[in-house]
Chains A and B, each alone.
Chain A
């Protein structure tokens, strides 16, 4: 999937936006996220995951090609921590997994209930947990 596919989803599913407007809006979403992270601020997208920043101290490392020791300078890095809901979404219907357990767990996570509804609706299983219209 590329940004073009996301633009297509916005265009086709929402209606009322031209292709150009859809593209501009998707750009705006990622641009806004980039600017926020570029200010040193983390982003929390409930139901999807958190983009968190960490400051790393300088440390000794090795050039993997030559094996010679080098100093890795201090830096700020971006990590993505996937939400439990996203992890569950990736494992729904996998063998040995209990779908009921994952959905009851998802609705039990409070603020995430709304996002769960959105994700479930996308996969055609809206409100399977019975607590969908919560927030």
Chain B
């Protein structure tokens, strides 16, 4: 499901115009982005929580050349899945094909290659 498919689903189920549904969906993710920008965590009951983890600067390496490269301090967002969603996702294993076989078509086949280690 893409963002535009999510918008269509919200429009249909919420009995809204697509334009209106788009505003709602954008507003939700904008508000979440802003919270994370402030370094604030987000907790959605039954869904999961987002946190921001600060990283100190460190010396990394260019994996291709092996040359050292300085990595500046940065903040990265993390998601921890909630209990309810975690169980829901795991139970989907029993009645749906593995993620790599592609429910939505588009890019899912491209990700198959990276699944090897998984």
Binding site for B on A (CB under 8 A): 1-3, 5-6, 9-10, 13-14, 16, 24-26, 28-30, 32-34, 36-49, 51-56, 74-80, 82, 86-87, 89-92, 94-97, 115, 118-119, 121-123
* Contact status B6-A40, CB under 8 Å: no
Residue of A nearest to B35 (CB): A1
Complex Cα gap A40–B96 (Å): 6
* Contact status A40-B93, CB under 8 Å: yes
Q: Please, how many residues of chain B have a CB less than 8 angstroms from a CB on the other chain?
A: 68
* Contact status B10-A32, CB under 8 Å: yes
* Contact status B103-A39, CB under 8 Å: yes
Complex Cα gap A14–B16 (Å): 13
Cβ contact of B45, chosen from A3, A33, A39, A97, cutoff 8 A: A3
Evaluate whether A37 and B85 lie within 8 angstroms (CB atoms) in the complex, with A44-B2, A46-B2, A75-B93 already known: yes
User: Smallest CB–CB gap between B56 and chain A, Å?
Assistant: 12
Asked if B59 is an interface residue, CB under 8 A from chain A, the answer is: no
Complex Cα gap A123–B115 (Å): 36
User: What are the residues of chain A within 8 A of B75 when measuring CB–CB?
Assistant: 90-91, 94
